Structure 1
C-alpha cells in the first residue's frame, strides 16, 4: 500500500473537482512530505470522429490543452493552501478501450498512490452504466488505498 500522503487527484472541468482540490489543499497544506499528482482522464473520440476526418493526434492535443488550463487553476488552489509547487505534478491520459474509472485505477496502481481523491458528480444510472462512475469504482476497489470522495 502506498503512503497516504502520495495523493492522486482525478480532476475534470466540473465544479466538484475544484472542491476536491480545495479539500486536498486544506488537509495537506501544511504537510512537508506530501506529493500530489493531478490527473485528467478524457474519453476516446466519439465513434464517428474518424469518419468525419478527425485526427487522433489533434484530438489528444486539444484535450491536453484543456487539461493544462484546468491544471493551472488546480495548482493555484493548492499553492495558495500552502503546498509547495514542486510537490505537485500533472498528467493526462486518454481512456483507450476502458472506462475513465478503470484508467484512474490503473494510474493509481502504477504510481502506488496511497490516497485517491475525486469530486462526486451526479451521474444518472444510464451514464454510470455507459461511462462508469469514478466515485463508485473507487469505493468498490479501495482495498489497498484510501479514497476521498468530495461532494
Structure 2
C-alpha cells in the first residue's frame, strides 16, 4: 500500500474486495461519487453501519488488547522476602512487580524506587515496607486514558 499523509484509505467489510475483473466496490463507486461517499456506500452495501449511531462509532485501543493484560504477570506474594523479589526483578529485567495476597488479589507493587526509599529509611526494610499503592486498570478501559498514569509510575 502506498500513499502520502494526505491519502485517504477505506476499510471495507467482507464482500467489498475486488471481483474477478479486478475492480472493487470502491473502484466501481468512485466513478460517480466522492471517496467519503464511497466508504459510506461500501459499508452500507455490506450491511454494516445501518444507522447514524453506527456511523459515529470510534475505535479504541483497550487494555485487553495488550498481550500482558491477557496473562497472569509474574509477581511476589505478601510474606515473600524482599531478596526474592529483587532476585526476580534482576533475573527478568523488571523495573517493578505486583505484590499479591494469598487469594491472588493485588495488594501493591514494588519497584526499584520503592525498594531504595524503603532501604534509605531502614536498611533492614522488608517487602511490606517497600510495597506501595498500585492502580489497577480494568480490561475494558481505554488504554490512552492510562498513558499519563503509566508515564508517572514507570
Is the shorter-chain TM-score for this pair beyond 0.5, marking a shared fold? Answer: no
Query: Which is higher, the Rg of structure 1 or of structure 2?
Result: 2
Q: TM-score, normalised by structure 1?
A: 0.22
Q: Which has the higher contact order (CA 8 A, sep 6+)?
A: 1
Name the structure with the higher helix share.
1
TM-score (norm 2): 0.22
Write 1 or 2 for the structure with the bigger share of strand. Answer: 1
